Amino acid sequence: QVHLLQSGPEVKKPGASLKISCKSFGYNFTNFAINWVRQAPGQGLEWLGWINTHNGNTNYEHKVMGRITVTTDTSASTAYLELRSLRSDDTATYYCTRDGLQLVDDALDIWGQGTMVIVSS
Amino acid sequence: LVLTQTPLSSPATLGQPASISCTSSQSLVHSDGKTYLSWLHQRPGQPPRLLIYNISNRFSGVPDRFSGSGAGTDFTLKISRVEAEDVGVYYCMQTSRFPLTFGGGTKVEIK
């Protein structure tokens, strides 16, 4: 069954760094791009970044540029989100989600279960 | 590229239709001629799930009471007969260009 499994919840102090993993199951990992999206408590969805899992090309949201790095380990069919210099407003649930490409005209068709991140002193 | 959804909240009656609008600040027509506008549904405590892609195509397993329409900058999601499981927040989203963006969301609740 096609799904994405994310790492567990995190509690971080301001200024620290975060690294979340997203492992894919049930499909060829390098055939589909991965996006990262977050949702602050009670708020809407915010796109953070994208990675072409085949060649490693990335694209990031300007708001987090300089603090974010998205990488992959293709041998482990896993994508990673790293966010540095954490602030309280980075507190959110973080989702990885697959770009379904030609299957669904680039819509985000598969979502991980989410990783809750709390940034607090 | 800003997506504006209306209404913010939609009290719905079971068995009755409901409609959500999404307006883009720019045309979502890609250079390849396609329009990469999709709709997502999120129930409380769950990740979003894809409902509609490319304006009007239902994703696998989505009931046919859901339909999407529109073109250019104006899009609509319609539920022909609201069921209890349809509660939650609906988001439009564009994947025509980076940065990808979402509408602010429309909360559907049963009256």
- CA of residue A96 relative to chain centroid, distance: 4
Sequential pLDDT tens for chain A (121 residues): 999 999 999 999 999 999 999 999 999 999 999 999 999 999 999 999 999 999 999 999 999 999 999 999 999 999 999 999 999 999 999 999 999 887 888 889 999 999 999 999 9
Strand partners, A59: A50
Sequential pLDDT tens for chain B (111 residues): 999 999 999 999 999 999 999 999 999 999 999 999 999 999 999 999 999 999 999 999 999 999 999 999 999 999 999 999 999 999 999 999 999 999 999 999 999
B40 touches A at CB < 8 Å: yes
- CA of residue A33 relative to chain centroid, distance: 11
The pLDDT value recorded for residue B39 is: 98
Give contacts of B94 with chain A, Cβ < 8 Å: none
The amino acid at residue A52 is: N
Q: What is the DSSP code (8-state) at residue A56?
A: -
Q: Indicate which of B29, B46, B53 best probes the interface with A, i.e. most A CBs within 10 Å of its own CB.
A: B53
The CA distance from B35 to A106, in Å, is 10
Report yes or no: A111 and A4 within 8 Å, Cβ to Cβ.
yes
Element (H, E) at B9: strand B9-12
The CA distance from B63 to B84, in Å, is 13
The amino acid at residue B52 is: I
Say if the Cβ atoms of B93 and A108 lie within 8 Å. Answer: yes
